Amino acid sequence: MVRLPGLPRPGESSTKDLLSFGHAAIWRLVGDPYPDDPDSPVAMSSWGIDPDPVDPQHERNGVGYDYRRHWARSAPNTTYYGLRVINNSGSDTSNYVATQAEQYAEVQRALRRPYNYAWWDKWRTDSFYCSQLVWRCWFNQGYDIDSGDFMGGVVEAATPEEIYLDNNTRYMYYWWSRY
């Protein structure tokens, strides 16, 4: 799942020249056991800020859970994209492979990996930023979901938009927040 402010919805055009930043998370395949709970942990990601004690949208600073409240509402005019990683034949990866990708994130959470402020270094594994974590989860399964478009490929970063644009991901749906 990626959140991309300002990126056009399918069927719309854009005159943007620069890649946007947003947020990325790996959705939990086990589903959502508490559909009415705003604190239900529905995704794994990494944040560089502490959670708001009054209205937490994520579990901790560093690798941890994103709560439903984060994905249920967002900044104005933000589009959320649900993506699926595809294999070489163009078919969706198996749920087994997706579970392995998610489990990598779970291990990083258990190790309490901090946030990676060196966003230009996607190869680090001692800390993670949001889209780097998603990229690494899949890279370890044999899928490189970084399109390499950021700054003409000169900078080794994995952004949410690059994940969206990569040929190894398939667009499934979008949800647009009007808040």
- Nearest Cα neighbor of 108 from 19, 23, 45, 169 is 45
Residue of 96 and 68 predicted with greater confidence: 96
Q: Which amino acid is at 37?
A: D
In whole numbers, what is the pLDDT of the chain averaged over residues? Answer: 81
Query: Is the CB of residue 29 less than 8 Å from the CB of residue 98?
Result: yes
Residue 136 reports pLDDT greater than 50: yes
Report the pLDDT averaged over residues 133-151.
88
Distance (Å, whole) CA 28 – CA 71: 13
- Nearest Cα neighbor of 169 from 73, 27, 5, 62 is 27
The residues pairing with 67 across neighbouring beta strands, listed in sequence order, are 41
Q: What is the DSSP pairing of strand 26-27 with strand 2-5?
A: unpaired
Q: What is the model's pLDDT at position 7?
A: 47
Q: What is the pTM of this model?
A: 0.84
- For residue 115, give the DSSP letter: B
Range name among 23-37, 79-93, 124-138 with the lowest pLDDT average: 23-37
Distance (Å, whole) CA 6 – CA 16: 9
* Band (157; pLDDT cuts 50, 70, 90): confident
Cα separations in angstroms, 31 against 21, 27, 36, 83, 122: 27, 8, 13, 15, 28
* Band (31; pLDDT cuts 50, 70, 90): low
pLDDT digits (tens, 9 = 90+) for 71-128: 766 555 667 778 889 988 889 999 899 999 999 999 999 999 999 999 888 999 999 9
Residue 18 reports pLDDT greater than 50: no
Does the domain spanning 2-177 belong to CATH 3.90.1720? yes
Residue 66 reports pLDDT greater than 70: yes
